[in-house]
């Protein structure tokens, strides 16, 4: 546990050092009234410069900037406002009444710690990577309680928190203590990873996920600190050295453990929650089909009746060349062998049938809202109709599933897979 207290004398001294050296606040407390902006290259750093808070170009729009805490070498672990981006005239400011605010060039406050008037006397970036707002005796707000997509060593991830990345959310289910990964779009939610880890107790009172310095990932419970459940081993388990370990919900919807050697800027993967990336719902976008080319997941379309929605982004899904409502003739069900439309429990019960392959095809053809149907052929005899506006598919020679996609007549199959696969 990190000490939450410090001596009032040190506090006052650090304040003065900072006032003399406003741009070089290595490890010192950041006084009220301090400001970071993309224009100056200032940063707020931890005592040994292990972590620092500064503006970095937004990964999605490089002309804009994100206020991020990065590990030495450049691996980001937190950002103000979950990656909210400001223009070059904006700033991150610690107001005189103790509120930390991300402000864009127009003066609009895009994010705030909501700590104004609560007695905050200074900010600091700790050696652990935790950004704290504090008075002389206590921490009043900490970034560790408001994670964005990453959890580092010594950070507690609890049921009150979630990690987000695009349409993806990682959370601990507060009732079961299960680790969950969800895809959301509007009112649609699909839970594509839902895993329970036994801690020896039937009900978890306050499950907490942590990654240890040795690379083990544990789920602990307040009531049962002596019996943590092992969630994962990092593949470089036990390796030590000047490195940071962390868990991250990646933009591809997978949840992974990483380690990064100080100064390297690189973070090799050590474990992933979903071992088969093609089983991450929505990875290839709407009507996209995930398959493997060698060991890499690649995205394509169900048939030549479709094309990529955005040719420069295969993950952006597929669109029909001709809408079903505009078919010049009638529509038909094109058979896709070794293909499954991903179906995670609980699939809407009225879209599930116990029927054979032929009926699976015909049932969809005659339900006007159905866009595809899939028979897992796993012995269950089930057929799932895809009614919702979003469908995510997986194709592999190893899959026994047969699917059907509704297209304007005639259906034009994709060319056969290249002989390299
Ligand atoms: C994490 O939880 C442990 C055990 O409850 C606690 O001692 C520690 O202070 C917590 N760490 C942070 C940064 O909140
Ligand atoms: C900073 O580094 C020095 C030398 O490696 C070490 O002794 C000290 O404990 C470190 N300080 C913190 C706060 O980790
Ligand atoms: C600042 O943010 C506000 C609110 O999001 C937005 O309306 C405004 O256009 C932004 N200004 C700049 C310069 O980005
Ligand atoms: C610091 O904040 C804590 C929690 O609000 C409060 O109990 C304590 O009295 C404050 N200390 C000072 C010196 O203001
Ligand atoms: C994620 O957590 C934040 C803060 O706890 C909460 O406001 C938000 O609703 C959560 N989002 C989801 C999708 O659960
Ligand atoms: C928790 O995960 C287990 C699989 O590990 C699953 O069988 C169970 O149904 C899940 N519980 C809930 C409430 O989702
Ligand atoms: C896999 O896909 C990439 C890019 O789409 C391509 O450059 C590469 O040649 C493919 N590899 C194989 C083994 O087909
Ligand atoms: C499609 O149209 C052809 C010719 O009009 C007809 O023979 C066939 O039964 C139709 N198929 C369906 C599924 O309606
Ligand atoms: C399935 O049931 C839901 C809610 O009960 C309803 O909104 C939906 O339209 C139904 N789907 C079909 C295909 O009947």
Angle at 181 between CA 183 and CA 77, to 5 degrees: 100
What are 335's two structure tokens? 């058979």
Q: What ligand 3 atom has the least distance to the C-alpha of 107?
A: 1
At the fourth CATH level, the homologous superfamily of domain 8-145 is: Bulb-type lectin domain (2.90.10.10)
Task: Say whether pLDDT at 239 is over 50.
Answer: yes
pLDDT band at 19 (very low <50, low <70, confident <90, very high): very low
Which part of the chain has CATH 3.50.4.10?
A: 279-408
Which mutation among 106, 109, 111, 112 tests ligand 3's pocket best, with the greatest number of atoms within 8 A of CB?
A: 106
Alpha carbons 221 and 201: distance in angstroms, whole number? 9
Residue nearest to atom 7 of ligand 7 (CA): 293
Output the pLDDT for position 228.
Answer: 80
| Any ligand 7 atom below 6 A from CB of 205 | no
Question: Could you give the dihedral angle defined by the CA atoms of residues 330, 331, 337 and 341, in that order, rounded to the nearest 10 degrees?
Answer: 180
The bound ligand whose nearest atom lies closest to the alpha carbon of 45 is 2
Q: Where in the chain is the domain with CATH 2.90.10.10?
A: 8-145, 150-275
- Answer yes or no: is the C-beta of 179 below 6 A from any ligand 5 atom: no
Q: Assign domain 279-408 to its CATH architecture.
A: 3-Layer(bba) Sandwich (3.50)
DSSP 416: P
Closest CA to 114 of 136, 90, 81: 81
Ligand 3: residue whose CA is nearest its atom 4: 108
How many other CB atoms sit within 10 Å of the CB of residue 382?
17
pLDDT of 49-95, one tens digit each? Answer: 999 999 999 988 889 999 999 999 999 999 999 999 999 999 999 99
Burial call 163-194: b when 16+ CB within 10 Å, e when fewer: bbbbbbbbbbeeeebbbbbbbeeeeeebbbbe
The reported pTM is 0.89
Q: Is 61 in the pocket of ligand 3 (CB under 6 A)?
A: no
Ligand 9 neighbours by CB, cut-off 6 Å: 348, 350-351, 387
Nearest atom, ligand 2, residue 126 CA: 13
* Biggest CA pair distance of the chain: 83
- Residues 21, 73 contacting (CB under 8 angstroms): no
* Distance of CA 174 from the midpoint of ligand 1 (Å): 18
Beta strands 352-354 and 163-165 are unpaired
Strands 392-395 and 288-293: parallel
Q: Is the CB of 91 under 6 A from ligand 3?
A: no
Q: What is the CA radius of gyration of the chain?
A: 25
Beta carbons of 56 and 62 less than 8 angstroms apart? no
Is CATH 1.10.565.10 correct for 150-275?
A: no
Give tens-digit pLDDT for 201-218: 566 778 999 999 999 999
Please list the residues that pair with 211 across neighbouring strands: 217
């Amino acid at each position: 546990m990190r000490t939450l207290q410090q001596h009032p004398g040190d506090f006052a001294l650090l304040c003065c050092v900072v006032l003399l050296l406003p741009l070089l606040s290595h490890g010192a407390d950041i006084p009220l009234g301090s400001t970071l902006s993309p224009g100056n290259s200032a940063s707020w750093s931890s005592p040994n410069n292990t972590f620092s808070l500064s503006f970095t170009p937004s990964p999605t729009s490089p002309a804009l900037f994100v206020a991020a805490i990065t590990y030495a070498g450049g691996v980001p672990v937190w950002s103000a406002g979950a990656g909210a981006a400001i223009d070059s005239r904006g700033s991150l400011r610690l107001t005189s009444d103790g509120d930390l605010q991300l402000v864009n060039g127009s003066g609009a406050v895009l994010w705030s710690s909501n700590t104004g008037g609560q007695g905050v006397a200074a900010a600091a970036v700790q050696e652990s990577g935790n950004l704290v707002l504090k008075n002389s005796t206590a921490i009043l707000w900490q970034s560790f309680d408001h994670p964005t997509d990453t959890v580092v060593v010594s950070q507690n991830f609890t049921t009150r928190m979630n990690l987000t990345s695009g349409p993806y959310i990682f959370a601990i289910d507060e009732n079961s203590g299960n680790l969950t990964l969800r895809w959301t779009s509007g009112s649609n939610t699909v839970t594509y990873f839902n895993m329970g880890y036994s801690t020896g107790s039937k009900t978890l009172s306050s499950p907490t996920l942590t990654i240890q310095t040795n690379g083990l990932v544990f789920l602990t419970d307040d009531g049962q600190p002596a019996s943590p459940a092992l969630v994962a081993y990092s593949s470089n388990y036990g390796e030590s050295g000047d490195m940071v370990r962390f868990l991250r919900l990646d933009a591809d919807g997978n949840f992974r453990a990483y380690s990064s050697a100080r100064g390297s800027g690189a973070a090799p993967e050590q474990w992933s929650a979903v071992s088969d990336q093609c089983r991450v719902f929505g990875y290839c976008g709407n009507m996209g089909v995930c398959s493997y080319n060698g060991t890499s997941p690649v995205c394509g379309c169900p048939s030549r009746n479709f094309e990529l929605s955005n040719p420069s982004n295969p993950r952006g899904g597929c669109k029909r060349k001709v809408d079903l409502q505009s078919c010049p003739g009638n529509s038909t069900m094109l058979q896709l062998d070794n293909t499954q439309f991903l179906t995670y429990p609980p699939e809407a019960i009225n879209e599930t049938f116990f029927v054979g392959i032929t009926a699976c095809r015909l049932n969809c053809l005659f339900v006007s809202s159905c866009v595809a149907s899939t028979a897992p052929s796993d012995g269950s005899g089930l057929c799932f109709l895809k009614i919702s506006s979003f469908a995510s598919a997986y194709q592999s020679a190893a899959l026994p599933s047969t699917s059907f996609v509704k297209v304007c007549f005639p259906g034009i199959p994709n060319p056969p897979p290249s002989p390299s696969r």
